Amino acid sequence: MGCGASGKKKYDASTAASDGKPALSCQVSFFEKLEVKKTPVTDSYQVGKASLGQGGFGKVTKGTRKGTKSEVRAIKQLPKDMTDAAAFVAEVVIASELDHPNIIKLYEVFEDNRNFYLVMELSTGGELFDAVVDAQSFNEWQAAHVMHQVLRGINYMHGKNICHRDVKAENFLLMEKKPIVEAVIKIIDFGIAVQFTPGVPMSGSSGTPYYIAPEVLNGSYDCKCDEWACGVLMYIMLSGQPPFHGRNNREILLAVQKGLPANAWAKDPWKNVTAGAKEVLSGLICLKPDQRFDAEFALKHDWIISHETASPDKKAEMEASTLQSLKSFSGESKMKKAALHAIARRANEKDIAKLRDTFIALDKNEDGVVTFQELQDGCAKLGVKETADLQTMMKELDVDGSLCIDYTEFIAGTMSKRMFHEEQVLWSAFCVFDKDNSGSINRKELELVLKHEDVQDLMGDECIVDAMKNCDSDADGTIDFKEFMAMMRA
């Protein structure tokens, strides 16, 4: 997903249920749960005519939310008569579960008589594949910067028991046109991703020939097939060519099953590549999955750590202003917290760049969430040692009850007032609550938003009544935009 639409390997819908994917029969109930909007996407977005890309399942265009200039999205159009409905369902299910700085965001899904529309985060830097082709090969600083972000995203996904199964250069986007060592990399395309059970092998041959792991070809594998593909990606970035060759797919797959040759590093361009890089490659492109590096282990390798100076985000320590924002968030009303959460989910990448880097810096084990200990360590550098206050802040931030701070929760709690006081930003947040576009928010709409934003702290009749009471200044049973704006700016 994202602004680049690359070709995908077709997924056999007949294997959906046994392969861990949602079966076609669940399509209706799933979409009801996701709250697919039954109104034309053009009611909410000004959709451009020019295609940003064409993939195996549909085209991608740019859309701007009406009434705003800041909410510019990538809109992926998928015909309802497509043959691979199971892959589409799986893509949306998986994408809606993920919340990480290096994974593309899914915002909304619309439906009309002919198509489904995925409204996603827009990237303008193009595919990583194109950047590699243009450069022919990367130096180690560039490759390490990319691999650091790729492995971070994969580590997070595996921590949520989700396997991507189609890691390749085409499935990573650069958020902006920048030098590669400054670029933010996002994982896209979850069309053949699957939720797995640890210890239970996956089945079904999925992936792209150059990147597919040998055990996948044998029909029984675990999530380390992603790490193999990460190794192939790293190999291509450093050498400009894939590690396994052939005149056709059959020959490529035969080469994959043999693994790297014993003399893999004896020829150019590997003579000038450091031993550390070769060690990471050998650990990832390892024939035996039980001996292969997992993403968490690879992230701790000296080669990645020694190149962290190429990653500006590792320099972003927690600041006093961030801590003050966290304290302020703890004292806000529950309704306002829900609104801030909605704003944070839809915030422009440029506006939250510094907060994103701070979140990454706090996440020392790089699993994609911030624990109490990590928050405490970050605050300790500011001289804050009182754990009681920190525990209160942690509880207030953890709106989904996961016992740790997710990425969006952190952004919601650390945004400056300047970011959410603008009328245009508040109008976008108001529209999230105003489901029927009536110009006011009623109790039913509030309940729906709290459910779909996963704000567990605000669920329940008492909380709903309290939220409505605090915002509804004229006591007419609804919240209009003026009341909403007053609550947010109070």
Q: Which residues are catalytic?
A: 166
Asked if residues 100 and 156 have their Cβ atoms less than 8 Å apart, the reply is yes
CA distance 58 to 47: 15
Longest Cα–Cα distance of the chain, Å, equals 78
Which tokens belong to 410? 């952190």
CA distance 404 to 395: 9
Among 356, 481, 469, residue whose Cα is nearest residue 415: 356
Asked if residues 163 and 225 have their Cβ atoms less than 8 Å apart, the reply is yes
Which tokens belong to 361? 């810096």
Contacts of residue 477, defined as CB under 8 A and 6 or more positions apart, other chains included, come to 442, 443, 468
Instruction: Compute CA 421 distance to the chain's CA centroid, rounded to the nearest angstrom.
Output: 26
Identify how many contiguous H helices and E strands the chain contains and give both numbers. Answer: 22, 11
CA dihedral 387, 389, 393, 396 (to 10 degrees): 120
CA distance 314 to 237: 22
CA distance 457 to 362: 24
The pairing of beta strand 45-54 with beta strand 115-121: unpaired
Measured CA to CA in angstroms, residue 224 lies from 98, 252, 296, 300 at distances of 19, 20, 11, 17
Contacts of residue 47, defined as CB under 8 A and 6 or more positions apart, other chains included, come to 41, 61, 62, 63, 75
The total number of residues written for the chain in this structure: 490
Buried-exposed string 255-265: b where 16+ CB fall within 10 A, e elsewhere: bbeebbeeeee
